[in-house]
């Protein structure tokens, strides 16, 4: 199986996009609108996060670091992909309202190791040899 992994190693390499995000969480429409107005009239994003956000990252100015698609709400991920760097937008989620922006992106290399994929290779071999065996049996059992 290790031979299979070595032969198909490129199949297990991938890249994924991540955004370095800053966000403000509010629980209702009224506060969300107030924050957006404060931002429009000159309050910095960090100040607004510290003053209005209802999540732990508020004390840090709303900075939550790099996030990938797998560890953020789908609505926020979609909005981040639409935004330009440093621009912000409001996103309504099941939890409440987020005002989000990103200030950096990166592509992360994902390199699955043999132990992560060895069962996948095993399954491939089982199906491959099963099909070969069925073909041989069909040849021998011709009507």
Taken in order 129, 130, 135, 138, is the CA torsion positive or negative? Answer: positive
Q: DSSP string spanning 27-70?
A: SSHHHHHHHHHHHHTT--HHHHHHHH--SGGGGGTTEEEEEEGG
Would you say 83 and 89 are in contact if contact means Cβ atoms under 8 Å apart? yes
Contacts of 100 by beta carbon, 8 Å cutoff, 6+ apart? 21, 22, 23, 24, 76, 79, 80, 83, 88, 89, 91
pLDDT for res 110? 73
Tell me the mean pLDDT per 10 residues along the chain, length 143.
Answer: 64 84 97 98 98 97 96 96 97 96 92 64 55 61 57
pLDDT of residue 15: 84
Q: How far apart are CA 45 and CA 25, in angstroms?
A: 12
Query: What's the pLDDT score for residue 109?
Result: 83
Predicted TM-score (pTM) of this structure? 0.70
């Amino acid at each position: 199986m290790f031979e299979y992994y070595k032969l198909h190693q490129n199949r297990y390499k991938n890249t994924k996009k991540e955004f370095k995000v800053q966000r403000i969480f509010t629980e209702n429409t009224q506060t969300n609108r107030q924050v957006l107005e404060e931002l429009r009239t000159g309050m910095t994003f960090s100040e607004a996060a510290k003053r209005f956000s209802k999540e732990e990252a508020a004390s840090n100015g709303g900075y939550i670091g790099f996030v990938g698609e797998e560890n953020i709400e789908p609505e926020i991920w979609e909005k981040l992909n639409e935004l330009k760097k440093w621009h912000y937008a409001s996103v309504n989620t099941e939890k409440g309202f987020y005002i989000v922006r990103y200030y950096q992106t990166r592509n992360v290399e994902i390199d699955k190791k043999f132990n992560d994929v060895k069962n996948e290779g095993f399954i491939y071999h089982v199906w491959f040899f099963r099909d070969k065996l069925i073909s041989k049996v069909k040849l021998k059992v011709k009507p």
